[in-house]
């Protein structure tokens, strides 16, 4: 009797399991929904080399091509500073206002001195003209004419001085209204409204938007091998990007950089996407004299531009026997100029894809140019 009851209780469970098994078997197997394109992607093929040419390897940081620290030449309280870090500003936009009451008072005083000096000069000029006539009529002595002339020259000098003081006050007044020298982004804000502004102390930092370069340091034993205009390969590891640049500036002095020479490397506008000022960069620069660099017997050299980066892995696309792209993972060594050393994963003289006219992925049909 008990066995019959247990069997009746288990019957619903077995029925549910049977239904699930039937349903799972009836579902079609998932297949890769990505269809191969009808037109193969055109690719260029290269061969791995066994040696490279020497280059200079330096490190640096991405920076804006144009940066400005906004400061004033006068001391006073900040009455207006509404921008904040990250704000976009336009050329000529008012950024900071500084109290100018004392400067306005000084300019008003200069205006009064100009009026007084102008009146004195008009009077002295009339005296000079009158005594010149009297001297010509022999009714005044030469000494009297000289005294009147001296008074005229002194009045003229006082007027020039008063006008110069007004020009100075007007210039100082201009330093109380700080505007953006170019369009860009506010990257640093070092003061707030109500605080005291001191001459020469930065209040804001503005960087030009969308235009970057790499600033790198070069030791003294290799700076003579670098010249303006040479090509350079720039690698930004933070975003797994490598591109070609050009040395646009070579600093001729290391007096204030601890024996290191500063160079600037351009970044093409087409490569600026994803870049931020402050990112670290590795730069490989062509030297004036290139010498062969011997690598290990098992290593080969490939162009840096052909390397594929995915997370922490690196690879190269090869062409499979069925005419499709095949991603092969490789282990890299050192970088020499625009070439990288492959320690494993690719044999010497083995073919690989250098350039493609489309997006490559495993299994996509390719056609060699």
All CATH 1.10.287.470 domain ranges in the chain, comma separated: 101-174
| pLDDT score recorded for residue 296 | 53
Residues 258 and 334: their CA atoms lie apart, in Å, by 27
Whether 260 and 303 have beta carbons less than 8 Å apart is answered as no
pTM, entire model: 0.53
The class that CATH gives domain 41-53+293-368 is mainly beta
**Among the CATH numbers 2.40.30.170, 3.10.20.740, 1.10.150.20, 2.40.110.20, which is that of 57-65+211-289?**
2.40.30.170
Q: Which of 290, 222, 230 is nearest to 266 (CA)?
A: 230
Q: Which residues contact 66 (CB under 8 A, 6 or more apart)?
A: 182, 184, 207, 208, 211
| pLDDT score recorded for residue 254 | 83
All CATH 2.40.420.20 domain ranges in the chain, comma separated: 41-53+293-368
Under CATH, which architecture does the 101-174 domain have?
Orthogonal Bundle (1.10)
Whether 355 and 43 have beta carbons less than 8 Å apart is answered as yes
Give SS3 for 170.
helix
| Per-residue pLDDT tens digits of the chain, which is 369 residues long | 444 444 455 455 545 545 444 444 444 434 343 444 458 898 888 876 655 545 688 889 999 988 999 999 889 899 999 899 999 999 999 999 998 888 888 888 889 999 999 999 999 999 889 989 888 988 888 898 899 999 999 999 999 999 999 998 888 888 899 999 999 999 999 999 999 999 999 999 999 887 899 999 888 878 888 889 998 889 888 888 888 899 999 998 888 787 889 999 999 988 888 888 889 998 888 765 544 445 555 568 888 778 888 888 899 999 888 889 999 999 888 776 567 888 888 887 788 898 888 888 888 999 888
Residues 97 and 192: their CA atoms lie apart, in Å, by 11
| pLDDT score recorded for residue 9 | 54
Residues 335 and 299: their CA atoms lie apart, in Å, by 12
- CA 363 → CA 35, 44, 318, 322, 360, distances in Å? 10, 17, 11, 9, 9
Residues 215 and 300: their CA atoms lie apart, in Å, by 31
């Amino acid at each position: 009797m008990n066995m019959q009851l247990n069997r009746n209780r288990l019957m619903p469970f077995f029925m549910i399991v049977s239904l699930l098994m039937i349903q799972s078997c009836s579902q079609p197997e998932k297949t890769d929904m990505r269809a191969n394109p009808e037109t193969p992607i055109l690719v260029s093929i290269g061969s791995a080399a066994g040696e490279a040419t020497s280059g200079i390897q330096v490190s640096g940081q991405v920076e804006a091509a144009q940066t400005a620290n906004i400061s004033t030449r006068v001391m006073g309280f900040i009455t207006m500073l509404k921008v904040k870090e990250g704000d976009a500003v336009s050329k000529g936009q008012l950024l900071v206002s500084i109290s100018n009451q004392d400067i306005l008072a000084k300019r008003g005083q200069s205006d009064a001195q100009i009026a007084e000096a102008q009146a004195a000069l008009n009077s002295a000029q009339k005296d000079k003209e009158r005594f010149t006539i009297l001297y010509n009529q022999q009714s005044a002595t030469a000494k009297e004419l000289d005294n009147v002339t001296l008074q005229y020259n002194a009045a003229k000098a006082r007027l020039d001085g008063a006008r110069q003081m007004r020009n100075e006050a007007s210039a100082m007044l201009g330093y109380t209204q700080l505007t953006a020298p170019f369009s860009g982004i506010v990257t640093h804000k070092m003061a707030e409204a109500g605080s005291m502004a001191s001459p020469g102390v930065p209040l804001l930092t503005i960087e030009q938007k969308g235009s970057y370069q790499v600033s790198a340091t070069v030791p003294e034993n290799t700076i003579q091998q670098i010249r303006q205009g040479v090509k350079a390969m720039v690698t930004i590891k933070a975003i797994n990007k490598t591109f070609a640049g050009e040395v646009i500036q070579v600093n001729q002095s290391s007096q204030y950089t601890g024996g290191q020479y500063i160079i600037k490397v351009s970044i093409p506008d087409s490569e600026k996407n994803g870049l931020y000022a402050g990112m670290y960069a590795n730069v490989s620069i062509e030297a004036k004299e290139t010498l062969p660099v011997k690598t290990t017997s098992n290593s080969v050299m490939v162009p840096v531009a052909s390397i594929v980066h995915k997370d922490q892995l690196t690879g190269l696309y090869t062409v499979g026997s069925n005419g499709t792209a095949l991603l092969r993972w490789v282990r890299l060594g050192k970088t020499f100029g625009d070439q990288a050393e492959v320690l494993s994963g690719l044999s010497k003289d083995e073919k690989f894809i250098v350039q493609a006219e489309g997006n490559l992925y495993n299994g996509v049909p390719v056609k060699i140019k």
